[in-house]
Structure 1
């Protein structure tokens, strides 16, 4: 007899092979349970559908969607799902870190502090460019108050008027605010003059430059807020309110608007509060001490004779004459 075409030959006495040889059995209940538990973890972390994960698994294993998994597929399938769990855990942890960072960045100058830090330490300018470990390190620094919060540079209080460069800087910010709100630039400048305590046509003192910059930037930021509160005003200020200032503004809002820190504020109320912040800080600015205003407490009566004494001291022959003259003058004065 000739063997059937295509059938494999086998040694004499060996039982015929069956279609379900070792490894060709369907997944056992234990194997399926292991895979299902891994898929459940992936679904919980990634918010995926289990059918989507099963389909992705078969694709990675090179199987068609209608092809069932067999026992021989189990080792590769388990390894694949374990890798997916690891990736999902990392992504989930990163999302939580980013969420916590987002909440902290809205407070005070944290956003600027983080921006400066990641630029200096990692050479990046956006959080999305950082690795999970780098994100965790930034979050830890913020939570432990170990990240330096940059404060705006304070100019020495002085009565000199704004320099041209300072005036141009304010003018650019006024233009941005006009574009954001549609408000007249002339009216914005008028408000700034009134806040600074000067009349139309007079020059704004340079000591108000930083306060006006903060006022303009806060107004522009808050113009984009749909539901501003006292908390969002605090977050919009380049130089955040100190505890005493926060209490003052809280009391002011309560007395004037019957508003709590969580109360939604109108645009007019927001501007009124920003004006109060400006005025309170302007009142606390130290007065400038100009050197040409300093006068001695008392002028000694012998001051006119100090320079002549220096001259004659260099000429011993005139010392006796000078001494007699000085004593005579002192006797006359006294």
Structure 2
């Protein structure tokens, strides 16, 4: 008897041979469904299309794109897609964390606080260098208000730094003043930092904002004055000097330059007076003696004698008589 056509001959006693070896069959319906579900989830998390994922998976398995997946390829294909899915999920989560961080960084001084924190804790300078777990840590700390500006930048809660809007206002005013006077923005900012009493690396406290605005506005106004005096300076202030303040500034000008309220002041004198006004208003509790309270450098013991000499020197006749009396006493002594 002849074997059936297409069936290879077999030795006596052996069973029938299957049409194809186990694993060489095409993917079963269940296997293909499992792979398609994984690919659908991948497409939802990435910008890839389904065909791209199929092609990438076959490439990883060492198959040509036109080669069909067989049943024996299923375990490796499933593992490959699961790994891709895990990576895509991690990337998606990281993107969400970065998006939330980006939104929070624009609030208050979060950007500076985060920069200092990641530099000290992770040795990095940008968020892009952090691992996903590190990014989550930073986000959690920000959301729970546990990140703050470290020393020396940190100030008590009552001395919060300038808000971004306040800083922008000062920045615009500095730019206008620089354009009007020809002074560089950098020098104006340096003067403001020194007046505010902050050290290098610190932020200007918000309590100085109003005083700085007044200082900048007054400088802007007085830059157009050709013959400024103490009275025009007073008029240029957004918050005019109180009588006690005016008296202190007048005495300071008198003692420093022998200037009266009607004396025409130089640009340097005007700026010096504005600085004095700023300091007196910004730090009234500092205990710095006002100009009218500064005592002479001579000893109080000789104060009566000095006052007597001043009184006599103002009257030449008395001065001559006093001199003659002094000479007579001198001859009697010797």
Q: TM-score when scaled to structure 1?
A: 0.49
Q: TM-score when scaled to structure 2?
A: 0.49
Which one has a bigger Cα radius of gyration?
A: 2
The structure whose RCO (Cα within 8 Å, separation 6+) is larger is: 1
